[in-house]
Amino acid sequence: MTLETHTSATIVKMLLLGRSGAGKTGHLGTLAKAGYRIFLADFDSGLDILLDPKVLDPALRSKIHYQTFYDKNLLLNGQMRPEAKGYTNFINAMSDWKEDGKSLGSIYTWGENDIFVVDSLTFLGNAIMNHVLALGGRGGQKPQLQDYGAAVDTQEAVIETLYNPAVKCNVVVTAHLTYMGDEATGGVNKAFPSAIGRKLPPKISRYFNNVVQIQKSGMGANVKFELQTTATHDTDLKVSKPSLIKPVMPADLGELFKLLRQN
C-alpha cells in the first residue's frame, strides 16, 4: 500500500493540557455546541462551570452525560480512608454507561459523533492509587514502592485502551501539568501531563496524535483563552493536521475538532 490509498482519520483522540484554572473543563462546552454527544468521566468534581449559561447554553446541557468518580473520605476505626470505589466504577462505565438503569452503550459502541472525556488524568491517578492501596489492605496509608509500580501500570493501561483503534469514538483526556527534568534534554525542566510517578508522564503524549494546551491570560473583563497547538520551549505539543491549524487559535475545541476531522 502507498499513501495514495490512505485516508486521514476522522476520529480525534486528544490530550488537553492546562494549568489549574486555565479553562480545560469549561471549554469542553464548545464540543457540545458543535453538536457532539459527550460522555464525561468526572474525577475533579468541577463541572459547576458548565452550568453557567455564559459558558454553556442551558439548551445544550442534555448533550453532556456525566458520572462522577470522586473518592469520598470515610471515617473508619478512627482513621480517614478514601472510599476507593471511583476507579472500579469508572471501568464499569467505560464498558457499560448506565443512567437510570438504562444502558447508553460503551466506548466500543459509541461513534464519530460521540466524545468520551476523562477529566482529568491527574485525578484519575489518585483514584487508581486509592484502588491499589485498598486491594493491598492499606487504604489511606502512604504508598509503597510496589504500589507505585502497580498504579503506573494501571494508569498506562487505561490510556492504551483509549488509544486502541477498537475505540471508535472521539476521546479527550484533560491533564494538569507537572514540571520535571527531561532526560532527552539533559535534565532541563519541561512540562508533562501530570500522571502517577516520574516515568509515566513523559510517555503519555505518545498515545495521542493531538496534544494541545489551553492558556489563560489577562484578568477580569480582559481575560482571554487560547489553544497552543505547536511545541513551546518547555512543552511538547502536536496536531495531526498542522497545515490547517494555526500555532495559536481561540479556545474553541469544536472548531479544532472540525479542522482535525477534515478528510
Residues 180-239 have pLDDT tens digits of 876 665 666 899 999 999 999 999 999 999 999 999 998 887 889 999 999 999 999 999
User: Rounded mean pLDDT of the chain?
Assistant: 92
Rounded to two decimals, the pTM is: 0.93
The pLDDT of residue 188 is 65
Give CA–CA dist 120/178, Å, rounded: 13
Q: Report whether 13 contacts 162 (CB < 8 A).
A: yes
Q: Find the distance separating the first CA and the last CA of the chain, reported in whole Å.
A: 18
Between CA 229 and CA 234, with CA 230 as vertex, the angle to 5 degrees is: 115
Which CATH number goes with the domain that contains 254?
3.40.50
Question: How do strand 177-182 and strand 170-175 relate by DSSP bridges?
Answer: unpaired
Give CA–CA dist 250/117, Å, rounded: 20
- Structure confidence by residue, pLDDT tens digits, 88-144: 999 999 999 999 999 999 999 999 999 999 999 999 999 999 999 999 988 888 999
- Considering its fold, how many domains does the chain have in total? 1
Which amino acid appears at position 19 of this protein? R
Give CA–CA dist 139/186, Å, rounded: 38
C-alpha cell at 243: 497545515
Between CA 25 and CA 30, with CA 26 as vertex, the angle to 5 degrees is: 110
Average pLDDT over residues 18-30: 94
The pLDDT of residue 49 is 95
**pLDDT interval class at 159 (50, 70, 90):** very high
**pLDDT interval class at 1 (50, 70, 90):** confident
Structural domain including 192 reads: 3-260
Give CA–CA dist 189/236, Å, rounded: 12
The pLDDT of residue 113 is 97
